């Protein structure tokens, strides 16, 4: 059979269109989650699996202990999507991870704070000078601590940071091995309830604190409709969780093993949501990255907007 030029071009376009359509729906979507984050809630609800089953897409959930390890998984291709706080994506970009920002939650500055024992003589951030402060290095609360110190006229060098993951920091705090602890919910709510820990400063009016929804660039560009569908499901889930905090608390209590009352406290100061990235949010994230670079915790300067998703450029 012979094809003229027009027929061949039409056939080529058809083949290309079919290839693009086939590529738009992957067989599997691999999602990283932590027991306490919004993807855990999505996993337990099962609504994403139900939505994707109609399209023949399987959902595989991969648990991680923290954001940095999750984004390492994103970078090496073991997962396609993840949700973390503000800081891990900046550090991942500095390590040349090829990720993109799909969207973000509303700001939730009340969910992280600097706390001290109830009987501590520390009354303000300026009282932290010369003190031992526990925190997770390179985390969102690391940014809060730097911003709070600088607002109080101090620098990061004026305190002794003690870098510990939450479980170890909790033990050190209770034993009095550190003077203060910078931590996020639900661990914040738990230590307040069980020890009477007192907040010296939370992030309100200081740093916004977002959850970011992230994807590998390869996945997001290859399967844009699937990525958008996940963001849509997160938005729907957020509306449900905001309207049904008791039910959401019960699910997250089951996921984490923390008391349901702890989760009620957490959800009262944690508005869920899923919005596409905006210039103002990118600017806030750039400010975070520049701060970490300035205090030498981030080894290189990064351009946060280089992780803009191509779908947002159109």
- pLDDT tens-place string over residues 144-178: 999 999 999 999 999 999 999 999 999 999 999 99
Q: Which two tokens stand for residue 206?
A: 């200081």
Bin 264: left if φ > 0, else alpha if -120 < ψ < 50, else beta: alpha
Residue 4 is predicted with a pLDDT of 54
Instruction: Dump pLDDT digits (tens) for 193-216.
Output: 999 999 999 999 999 999 999 999
Residue 117 is predicted with a pLDDT of 98
Average pLDDT rounded to a whole number, residues 263-283: 97
Question: What's the DSSP call for residue 158?
Answer: G
Confidence bin at 109 (pLDDT 50/70/90): very high
CA 255 and chain centroid, separation: 17
Confidence bin at 266 (pLDDT 50/70/90): very high
Residue 2 has pLDDT above 60, yes or no: no
Contact 68, 99 (CB under 8 A): no
Domains of the chain plus CATH, in order, are 5-108+210-312 (3.40.190.10), 109-202 (3.40.190.10)
Average pLDDT rounded to a whole number, residues 252-280: 96
Residue 17 is predicted with a pLDDT of 45
Confidence bin at 258 (pLDDT 50/70/90): very high
Residue 7 has pLDDT above 70, yes or no: no
Instruction: Dump pLDDT digits (tens) for 222-234.
Output: 999 999 999 999 9
Burial 235-264 (b: 16+ CB within 10 A, else e): bbbbeebeeebeebbebbbebbebbeebbb
Contacts (Cβ under 8 Å, ≥6 apart) of 192: 115, 199, 265
Question: What's the DSSP call for residue 139?
Answer: S
> Of all helices (H) and strands (E), which one includes residue 116?
strand 112-116
Residue 313 is predicted with a pLDDT of 62
Higher pLDDT, 9 or 112: 112
Q: Which two tokens stand for residue 215?
A: 């994807």
Residue 116 is predicted with a pLDDT of 98
Confidence bin at 15 (pLDDT 50/70/90): very low
Phi, psi of 213 (to 5 degrees): -100, 120
75, 158, 206, 313 from 242: Cα distances, Å: 32, 40, 24, 30
As a whole-number percent, the residues of the chain with pLDDT over 70 amount to: 92
Instruction: Dump pLDDT digits (tens) for 120-145.
Output: 999 999 999 999 999 999 899 999 99
Residue 277 is predicted with a pLDDT of 96
Average pLDDT rounded to a whole number, residues 62-80: 91
10, 18, 62, 164 from 272: Cα distances, Å: 47, 37, 22, 27
Confidence bin at 66 (pLDDT 50/70/90): confident
Residue 57 is predicted with a pLDDT of 96
Average pLDDT rounded to a whole number, residues 298-302: 95
Question: What's the DSSP call for residue 211?
Answer: -
The number of helix segments (H) and strand segments (E) in the chain equals: 13, 11
Coil, helix or strand for 216? strand
């Amino acid at each position: 059979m012979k094809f003229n030029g027009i027929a061949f071009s039409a056939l080529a376009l058809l083949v290309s269109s079919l290839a693009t359509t086939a590529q738009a729906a992957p067989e599997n979507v691999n999602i990283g989650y932590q027991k306490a984050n919004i993807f855990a809630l999505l996993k337990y609800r099962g609504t994403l699996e139900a939505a994707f089953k109609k399209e023949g897409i399987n959902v595989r959930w991969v648990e991680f202990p923290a954001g940095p390890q999750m984004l390492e998984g994103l970078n090496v291709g073991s997962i396609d999507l993840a949700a973390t706080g503000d800081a891990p994506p900046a550090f991942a970009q500095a390590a040349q991870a090829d990720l993109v920002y799909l969207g973000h939650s509303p700001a939730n500055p009340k969910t992280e704070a600097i706390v001290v024992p109830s009987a501590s003589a520390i009354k303000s951030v300026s009282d932290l000078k010369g003190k031992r402060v526990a925190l997770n290095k390179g985390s969102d609360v690391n940014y809060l601590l730097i911003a709070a110190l600088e607002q109080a006229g101090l620098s990061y060098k004026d305190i002794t940071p003690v870098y510990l993951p939450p479980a170890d920091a909790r033990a050190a705090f209770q034993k009095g091995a550190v003077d203060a602890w910078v931590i996020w919910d639900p661990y914040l709510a738990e230590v307040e309830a069980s020890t009477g820990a007192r907040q010296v400063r939370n992030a309100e009016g200081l740093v916004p604190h977002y959850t970011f929804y992230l994807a590998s660039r390869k996945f997001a560009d290859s399967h844009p409709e699937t990525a958008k569908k996940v963001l849509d499901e997160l938005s729907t889930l957020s509306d449900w969780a905001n309207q049904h905090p008791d039910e959401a608390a019960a699910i997250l209590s089951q996921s984490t093993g923390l008391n349901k009352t702890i989760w009620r406290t957490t959800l009262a100061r944690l508005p869920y949501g899923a919005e596409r990235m905006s210039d103002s949010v990118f600017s806030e994230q750039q400010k975070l990255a520049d701060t970490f670079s300035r205090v030498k915790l981030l080894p290189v300067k990064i351009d946060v907007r280089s992780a803009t998703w191509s779908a947002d450029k159109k």
